[in-house]
Amino acid sequence: MRFTKVLISSAVVAAAFTGPAFAADPAASGIAFGGAFDFSYDWAANDVVSGHVFDNEDDAFVFHQANLSATKAFDGGVGVGLNVILGKDANVVSGDLLDGDDFDVTQAYISKAFGNLTLTGGRYVTLAGMEVINPSGNLNASRSLLFARQPLVHEGVRASYKLSDALSVTLGLNNSQFATSCGPAFGALGGGVGVGCTQGGAGVIGFSGQRDNNTDTTIEAQVAFTPNKMLSVFLTGYTGNEDFGDGGGFGNSANLQSDTLDLVVNLNLTDMIYVGLNADYFNTEDGAGGHFETKGVAGYAQVKLMPKLRVALRSEYVSADGDAGFGFGGIGQSIRTENTLTVGYAVSDNLELLLEGRHDRARGGGLVDVDGDGTPDFLGNEVFAPIDGDIEDDQYTGTVKVIAKF
């Protein structure tokens, strides 16, 4: 039934975009198609992978996603875009982790250009973050800790204005940043799984994947500075309210103020060497004055050793601090770090093979629900699943991944 639903949804998407013109000549329709396929074998030394977004399987082959997109430009500066995801990752993007159907409409928007001003309305990906949902747009096979705390998609309206060739600004009004619901609660820095009302996304539970069930408004703003082909800087902010749903996933039982500040810096030192930086600050406050905040920084480096061979490094530090009784299981400060090494080999222009090793580590305080019974088991730094029966303070994972893009 699930597979049938995916096929029907995909057929409807294709038919809506293509029509009779596509049957005769795809180019004649004026539609631009693109996509990526992500398939991997994911391995973990621990029994359960904690704190990762998409690569959370243990010793398994996983078809993560088929990321398919289509855009079309019309006369008068009007454009439309559609982006769908099939596969396991779709359930994280949609927020439907428990009963997902491996299908998500990630983007569906209409845009209109007025000279240097472009207005966009609909569903679109976030402005925040270094890394993206599409696997072909990242240096590493796994996603960062910060990616797990950033918003993924928004629904609303967005206005972008190009001030010059080097400077542009974007303002928007969206539904709330993060999906919230009463469902599976993931520990703030990769702890066990419990049950309760949680916020998926930035700075709180730290897992971008609860059902989007509220319509409070969030303001987004970004300044993009690209003075030359070597350097680009993006400063992005989100602020607005979040509402928790009831046990059925609906309702407005608690009001939260949620803020995100995100900095991305890209620097191409040479044609062979790249370095990047992503720094984030997240803060959430409840009506009683309680708060939960997360601060983090991720550094990136890539070196092309040969035309087809590259090595990418990512090193990350994330600190979370929350009030006791705030509702997110946070007491004191918890610190999480990760270091990732990825080797990429381009089999062809459209096919890349990735080999990755990753080490996550946690330390500091934090109430952790290890067995998933809803009751915190201990206060300490051992937050990862056990190896040979002992709770660990670190986690080792690996991936062999194939990415095909077109």
Structure confidence at residue 391 (pLDDT): 73
Alpha-helix residue ranges (DSSP H) falling in 26-94: 89-94
pLDDT tens for 271-328 read 999 999 999 999 988 766 777 889 999 999 999 999 999 999 999 999 988 764 444 3
Structure confidence at residue 162 (pLDDT): 98
pLDDT tens for 133-170 read 999 999 999 999 999 889 899 999 999 999 999 999 99
Structure confidence at residue 12 (pLDDT): 45
The answer to whether residue 214 scores a pLDDT higher than 80 is no
Distance CA 113, CA 119 (A): 6
More confident residue, 203 or 347: 347
Least confident residue range of 45-59, 75-89, 108-122, 300-314: 45-59
Distance CA 311, CA 357 (A): 12
What is the mean predicted confidence (pLDDT) over 74-92?
94
* Residues comprising the chain, all counted: 406
Structure confidence at residue 376 (pLDDT): 53
* pTM score: 0.83
- With a pLDDT cut of 90, the percent of the chain lying above it is 54
What is the mean predicted confidence (pLDDT) over 242-260?
61
Name every residue whose Cβ is closer than 8 Å to that of residue 389 and which is 6 or more positions away in sequence.
none
> What is the overall mean pLDDT for the chain?
80
More confident residue, 330 or 106: 106
Where does the pLDDT of residue 49 fall: very low under 50, low under 70, confident under 90, or very high at 90 and above?
A: confident
Where does the pLDDT of residue 335 fall: very low under 50, low under 70, confident under 90, or very high at 90 and above?
A: confident
Answer whether 316's CB lies under 8 Å from 295's CB.
Answer: no
What is the mean predicted confidence (pLDDT) over 180-195?
34
- Residue 64: both structure tokens together: 């993560």
pLDDT tens for 336-359 read 999 999 999 999 999 999 999 999
Structure confidence at residue 55 (pLDDT): 87
Cα maximum dimension of the chain: 65
Distance CA 245, CA 299 (A): 36
The terminus-to-terminus CA distance of the chain in angstroms comes to: 29
55 dihedral zone (left: phi>0; alpha: psi -120 to 50; beta): beta
Distance CA 33, CA 83 (A): 10
Structure confidence at residue 96 (pLDDT): 67
From the number of C-beta atoms within 10 Å of its C-beta (0-12, 13-18, 19+), residue 91 rates as buried
More confident residue, 27 or 321: 321
What is the mean predicted confidence (pLDDT) over 235-247?
76
Residues paired with residue 335 on neighbouring β-strands, in sequence order: 319, 363
Q: Compute the Cα dihedral for 62, 37, 349, 269 and give only its sign.
A: negative
The answer to whether residue 199 scores a pLDDT higher than 50 is no
More confident residue, 232 or 186: 232
Least confident residue range of 4-18, 163-177, 224-238: 4-18
What is the mean predicted confidence (pLDDT) over 328-332?
47
More confident residue, 37 or 323: 37
What is the mean predicted confidence (pLDDT) over 94-122?
88
Residues paired with residue 184 on neighbouring β-strands, in sequence order: 195
Residues 353-363 as b or e (16 or more Cβ within 10 Å = b): ebebbbebbbb
Structure confidence at residue 257 (pLDDT): 83
Highest average pLDDT, of 49-53, 124-128, 387-391, 392-396, comes from 124-128
Distance CA 333, CA 315 (A): 20
- Residue 6: both structure tokens together: 């995916």
Assign 3-class secondary structure to 224-284: EECCCCCEEEEEEEEEEEEEECCCCCCCCCEEEEEEEEEEEEEEECCCCEEEEEEEEEEEE
